[in-house]
Structure 1
């Protein structure tokens, strides 16, 4: 069995990390045969090793002393640093590899790990003095400066793939990408894109020389570059227009997504016309196109058909998206920060991935989520489901390539709706309500199975069309049925006798919480290992909602970090998460983009708020910034590896940052299919530094 070792250590230049232990694969404690570790991100080292039967020698704290092993089955290991032929062992006792563990996460010199803290914020929500009414790739380093000043190590953002399909508010939905590979041009910084002199430097242009033709030239002193007088007038006019538009958009309280997109495209066209002829000949551009030709040309053709223009401008913009984001990521790494991305579960049903690979998708259904506290009717996302059988034929190459492209930018990633890799909520194309969906794959019930559990099944009565029914006919399986989700809320259920209610309750409980555990576990283990092992990125699963019992087991086996939300306990009978219930390998948070902020949540229900504060032994009679700080301090004591908080919750620790209505700070309302994703910081990042 292979084990992936991940080590957290902020090394300095010249230091190399090694792993050794009491197996031959680990070098049998011989430092000359130790496993070298690979630096895969800021402060993150990685090595994948075959860990077999241990040998009889055991290393003690003294690097030169060996003792007889107490058990030949126990794998022990330790890390050390080599610098200029000098070796420094980590302090503490030997580490013990848990039996059957194929992924471990350690901190150098600490058998007790330390929690890393971070901030979660959509890129579009960032505000700086000179951005264009929306957060941009170039703003990430400034956010990084704020993180460093506040002891944060991780920045988590929402998806940043291109969603441009309609040029209206629908494109603000970051989980509806037209390409799972292309970045969104809306986050480009125009001034970095332009090859013109810096806009604010035009005033220092001075007379340079006169051509024989009599045409006057002006020059920029630093860097020295000459421009024809007429060209300067043209540049000046464009620059004045740009600055005016930027000022107007940057004053907007929230992101005006359609307006920003339209305005930026004007300047995209200007930059393209000015640069394309020279850029397309460069080695750097040609290399970018070659490295991404498996998806880039299809994307460019799709966009050209959408916009009625050529493919070249879309190649141009993707090159610059990659260039600007890579520059920002390098700056974050230089500050010792991790960037965590978000990989959506779905793709746009009319996007380039579906058009290029229709065989990989089931286009006759749409996916969503069953009813929950956030959406009583369930959710219909409108995405096609995946044809996993077709994807398996090439080892899930589409998914692997998708993650490999994103690993160019991200050190870690959130697997959106990881439950979808076990089973997905499918809804017929002819239906809008999520109530009429069902889990796929599933093991539907025969009439005999239903009746064997004491329910008197009559097809015309209990499997009729509409929402007021007990069973939904299983697709493609004759005389097989699926219990309708939340059937106990139907009028038909209320008319049943107590005996029949008990019978159908038992059927429902078994079907949704027991029947599929082994089946769904098998399905997840067919897919997830190929994805997780495709890149060195750290995988985090969004495992909220109706969670099958097999999910935590599989995530633990594969080393995928779970998501734990304080107001959404996973332990039956608990009203709120209790820190002793938390697994170590998790991301712990106060909320997500689909929820109200911590301050907003505490304002929603006075009785619940009192119960929550009592559970934390807080006697505050009124919720203030100090109350929020006390709550976060409780978080800091949790056993979780990562604590990542919404930016709104961190800003609310200062009452000067409070919005008049905390409900305005919620980014998405899941029950609103037309939600406009537009929340924006009210202050500039510069004012926080």
Structure 2
């Protein structure tokens, strides 16, 4: 039998109460309704004495370890859980002769320390403890009635290798505030630091603090704020009768090392396909990341960010260059494999050498030439190696660990090759809708496809080895590798083929109009069936992120707004203008009717009048009316059935009439309300409704009502729904791995996004020329919050130099207002301007500053001399864009012949205090 007093300090608002919940029946078995309410004392202290029966608890859970956490019950019944990891203790380590007092510090959800604590980027890369310096914790039990044992514990991730946390205080045991007598805490549970100390009772009470110091204690960093104090609390008389003993030991869970010193670092962003090396084959490869790490180390950087690297093979053409259109959320892209390291065959290596010079001298990536060459060579190597595979223990182990996705991916790839199409809807019935039994049969050793299936196993095995080696090399050199999580998957992917129930195949993902695309964006990916995914606790997401975490220490969530709500577009559309948010509270038919809106055909059907045709088609208005439209009333038209949607226009328009496509799209889009395809009583205002003649030619009173409903739908009524939606999804994304989570929260950003990301410790993205506040022309980096990543450009934008040259008016405004320089802005973005912009970002409060390699190059007159139009990676408004940008300098040359440039980068990093020594 053990008595434990739980004590936590939390200043509640009037009416709020503090509860404790945990993994034993005493604490409610994590059931919120059966949790224990603490009693309020003084000065924000809440406490509760509980009795634990060791035998009963052992029988309940087969363990004597108990986990617990606190939450606050709000006045409206909402439960606000503290952040951070669960607390735990072992009853087997507690003496039944004592009362054990746990003095806990409430874990704030907005604390940067919790972001450090949860992240492999900090714990396993930047601040990894050296094995030979770790001090092992030894529990101490009280053996004397004249002394008190206190178990000290504090959490701190931001402790550089070579340093440790010590405790020093006001009594003899704690060195009488002499730092040379401070006692080191143990770090074998880093970033939790522990030490057990025994104090004579005549040394009580006392004050103390934690410090960070090196081994010699010559460099000392004191924690901030007032001293911590130990004073023995008094057990109430009613409790004394329960315990029969006033002797206690104390567990001080002191929370975080109190510090205003925040870890800030910097990095470089570059797609793998863009890297150029002398030993490359016309494209960057996983092995090339090793040389990029070497340059990052020399430059003082600590993060490398890349674009998605999953297989995208659908067409076997340049169209597969789109890295966000994966055919498998697990499989790596074969184009990134290094051939030389797979074989010693002279003939194969001769072929590589023959093509190397030709492919490497190209200014841009020739996707088709590279992938076709590599596939040919990989098949030759596989045929030489396949008889040895089963004897390769590493290969066998890889197969065992990954077979759950490898079989589906390999069979899909074989069938795609066999039937000459990735559209599984066109495959024979026996393969169109797979079952696990069919997949197991067709990938078994006696299947006619087995040899081809093993080829894909072989390729993925070596891709895994090469990326894993690069990732380990990065972490060994204190460089974090940051991946990219696409918001969707290809409609014809392995995932939609094998798990169609997880997707809404009648819908597409996209984005409303923004700075990237006037007509919005339609990415073509099916949206997620979140309600279905929830039934197995989001196992698909857990597995997907678990695979990513094998290689990455951090990741960027592409379009994190999709976890709040996604812009969902019917598959009848090509552009993104006729979408709606999912989830969202619609405009109900009854709501519209109550507001005097009843003529739904007028508002939901394309509004086409003769003067509209004249405006769009000019002298070709009559031809358009005859060829594509039907006049149902004088000067009133509707589209013919074969041209009634954007997709039908795209499919049925002849090449001769292709010039009419933009105008016909405008006709389809000329509506005020969009119907819900699944419920005839739900409607949604068309985005940018005021730009349509459908809206502008309504009577003024109706326009006023509809505009008010438009504002309500897009900017008011959804915030709480979207916040709750994100709070169901994002905690899972954050907790299922130890990767640092960064969100790309650009575009039409709801007000709820920033507070939700902050509470979850997810980093938001800040781009200076894309402020979310429409009243601002630019952000100033000095106003960024700490939990953000800032950057000068993204792969969807012009580089800094490109933007400067293409938008002269804004560049002039920026030059005068943001950089604070008088006079005319120079025509080109000179190196001194680039340095001024980068310096603003580096000195900002943001946790991470990460710039595209092209923008780093802008510091150098030589490296920044390329035409910036050639350095833009993507054109978001063009769904058929060819992703083929390549860096114009080899990594070897960057390392060997551009040391002044590298030293300049290092200087900026160090001056801004982003360099971790």
Same fold (TM over 0.5): yes
Correspondent of 1:634 among 836, 840, 851 = 840
8 A Cα contact 2:747 2:772, kept in partner: no
1:128 CA drift (Å): 0.6
1:259 CA drift (Å): 0.7
Q: Secondary structure at the match of 2:331?
A: coil
Change in CA separation of 1:30 and 1:242 when aligned onto 2, cut-off 3 Å: farther
* Alpha-carbon distance in 1 for matches of 2:684, 2:205: 59
Query: In the alignment, what sits opposite 1:56?
Result: none
Query: In the alignment, what sits opposite 1:491?
Result: 693
Correspondent of 2:223 among 82, 92, 95 = 92
Correspondent of 1:178 among 327, 338, 341 = 327
Query: In the alignment, what sits opposite 2:825?
Result: 621
**Is the counterpart of residue 549 in structure 1 residue 751 in structure 2?**
yes
Q: TM-score, normalised by structure 1?
A: 0.83
* Alpha-carbon distance in 1 for matches of 2:396, 2:699: 72
**Is the counterpart of residue 369 in structure 1 residue 369 in structure 2?**
no
* Alpha-carbon distance in 1 for matches of 2:684, 2:349: 62
Q: TM-score, normalised by structure 2?
A: 0.63
* Alpha-carbon distance in 1 for matches of 2:551, 2:222: 33
Correspondent of 1:463 among 604, 610, 628 = 604
Q: Secondary structure at the match of 1:280?
A: helix
Change in CA separation of 1:44 and 1:317 when aligned onto 2, cut-off 3 Å: farther
Change in CA separation of 1:312 and 1:38 when aligned onto 2, cut-off 3 Å: farther
1:12 CA drift (Å): 4.0
Note the alpha carbon deviations across 1:269-290, whole angstroms, 9 max, x for none.
1211122211222221111111
**Is the counterpart of residue 395 in structure 1 residue 537 in structure 2?**
yes
Matched length: 613
* Alpha-carbon distance in 2 for matches of 1:470, 1:424: 20
Query: In the alignment, what sits opposite 2:173?
Result: none
Note the alpha carbon deviations across 1:224-278, whole angstroms, 9 max, x for none.
xxxxxxxxxxx43333222011111111111111110001112101211122211
Change in CA separation of 1:276 and 1:659 when aligned onto 2, cut-off 3 Å: farther
**Is the counterpart of residue 289 in structure 1 residue 417 in structure 2?**
no
Q: Secondary structure at the match of 2:373?
A: helix
Query: In the alignment, what sits opposite 2:560?
Result: 418
* Alpha-carbon distance in 1 for matches of 2:872, 2:724: 37
**Is the counterpart of residue 608 in structure 1 residue 810 in structure 2?**
yes
Query: In the alignment, what sits opposite 1:357?
Result: 499
Listed as ranges, the matches of 1:211-610 within 5 Å are 235-308=345-418, 310-450=452-592, 456-465=597-606, 466-610=668-812
* Alpha-carbon distance in 2 for matches of 1:61, 1:396: 53
Query: In the alignment, what sits opposite 1:644?
Result: 850
Query: In the alignment, what sits opposite 1:684?
Result: 890
Q: Secondary structure at the match of 1:548?
A: coil
* Alpha-carbon distance in 2 for matches of 1:277, 1:154: 40
Query: In the alignment, what sits opposite 1:24?
Result: none
Query: In the alignment, what sits opposite 1:152?
Result: 301
Q: Secondary structure at the match of 2:372?
A: helix
Query: In the alignment, what sits opposite 2:70?
Result: none
1:82 CA drift (Å): 10
* Alpha-carbon distance in 2 for matches of 1:129, 1:375: 37
Q: Secondary structure at the match of 2:525?
A: strand
1:36 CA drift (Å): 8.3
Q: Secondary structure at the match of 1:118?
A: strand
Correspondent of 1:133 among 274, 278, 282 = 282
* Alpha-carbon distance in 1 for matches of 2:885, 2:149: 55
* Alpha-carbon distance in 2 for matches of 1:304, 1:345: 26
1:630 CA drift (Å): 1.2
1:430 CA drift (Å): 1.6
Change in CA separation of 1:17 and 1:670 when aligned onto 2, cut-off 3 Å: farther
- Unpaired runs of at least 5, structure 2: 1-81, 86-113, 138-147, 164-175, 184-198, 229-254, 419-448, 607-667, 896-917
* Alpha-carbon distance in 1 for matches of 2:157, 2:772: 36
1:496 CA drift (Å): 3.4
Query: In the alignment, what sits opposite 1:101?
Result: none
Query: In the alignment, what sits opposite 1:100?
Result: none
Change in CA separation of 1:444 and 1:15 when aligned onto 2, cut-off 3 Å: same
Change in CA separation of 1:81 and 1:281 when aligned onto 2, cut-off 3 Å: farther
Correspondent of 2:132 among 5, 8, 14 = 14
8 A Cα contact 1:17 1:80, kept in partner: no
1:109 CA drift (Å): 9.2
Change in CA separation of 1:35 and 1:273 when aligned onto 2, cut-off 3 Å: farther
Change in CA separation of 1:181 and 1:33 when aligned onto 2, cut-off 3 Å: farther
8 A Cα contact 2:783 2:844, kept in partner: no
Q: Secondary structure at the match of 2:526?
A: strand
1:613 CA drift (Å): 1.3
* Alpha-carbon distance in 2 for matches of 1:96, 1:447: 63
Query: In the alignment, what sits opposite 1:219?
Result: none
Note the alpha carbon deviations across 1:96-155, whole angstroms, 9 max, x for none.
99xxxxxxx99x996221421101100000001110100000000111111111111100
Correspondent of 1:653 among 821, 834, 859 = 859
RMSD: 3.3
8 A Cα contact 1:18 1:79, kept in partner: no
Change in CA separation of 1:319 and 1:508 when aligned onto 2, cut-off 3 Å: same
Q: Secondary structure at the match of 1:603?
A: helix
Note the alpha carbon deviations across 1:542-598, whole angstroms, 9 max, x for none.
111111111112111111100011111123411101224311100000010000000
* Alpha-carbon distance in 1 for matches of 2:205, 2:797: 55
Note the alpha carbon deviations across 1:166-217, whole angstroms, 9 max, x for none.
11011100001110011111101111122x1xxxxxxxxxxxxxxxxxxxxx
Q: Secondary structure at the match of 1:413?
A: strand
* Alpha-carbon distance in 2 for matches of 1:645, 1:472: 40
* Alpha-carbon distance in 1 for matches of 2:589, 2:517: 31
Note the alpha carbon deviations across 1:366-398, whole angstroms, 9 max, x for none.
111111121111111111110101100111110
Change in CA separation of 1:598 and 1:269 when aligned onto 2, cut-off 3 Å: same
